Structure 1
């Protein structure tokens, strides 16, 4: 059966400090800024960042958003995972850029390596190895 929803277009994230999160996603993680707009009626910024062709993160600011109730098992989005060819190399570069990461683990079902780190608001982000030269 052909999937009804064949591809992911974007993931939307509401941040507490727009400038800090914009710098993290665009400068630290290197996501390309596609479009940025201030929506005056909502007192809100919206930033579209490209992960890969056709896949984006939408970053929003809103006045006084409530914090995430718990981590990571709160109802709703648990984490956002990025596919990478070499987890070790990405972890080394994240650490070089001042981003703390958890130890690299191996998925017990797929045998793939992965680890977690957090965005400026503590949103769990994952790097998951989809191909390896090792």
Structure 2
């Protein structure tokens, strides 16, 4: 199978369009690619570099199970590579993005931290 190493997009479900748009576009800096209103939901795609997030807004979607039980089946979290986790956490503070404290990866000792989007999707920054 060829090209399975290339990700086309990652889909996320949220319930509040304004909060999800503000978080991914205004705070994290993704660019809006397109927007579609459908019968029961909204779909908008945002991109940053080669990464595309397909964001569905479904007002009645069930809530995601939250930490401290992240070991449910399915997607655990999305991790973004950054050059300086501490600087990114300071920027998160200025943008009122809640996050966990800086910590070090158990295996490679690189800096990392978790944060969450408005839908509760766990996200990570990692050096």
Counterpart of 2:57 in structure 1 is: 61
Q: Which consecutive unaligned segments of at least 5 residues does structure 2 have?
A: none
Counterpart of 1:29 in structure 2 is: 28
Paired residues in the alignment total 125
Q: What is the alpha-carbon distance in structure 2 between the residues aligned to residue 81 and residue 51 of structure 1?
A: 14
- Give the RMSD, CA atoms, in angstroms: 1.7
TM-score normalized with structure 1 length: 0.85
Counterpart of 1:102 in structure 2 is: 100
Following TM superposition, where does structure 1 have runs of at least 4 consecutive aligned residues deviating by more than 4 angstroms? none
Residue 96 of structure 1, CA deviation: 0.6
Q: What is the alpha-carbon distance in structure 1 between the residues aligned to residue 59 and residue 100 of structure 2?
A: 31
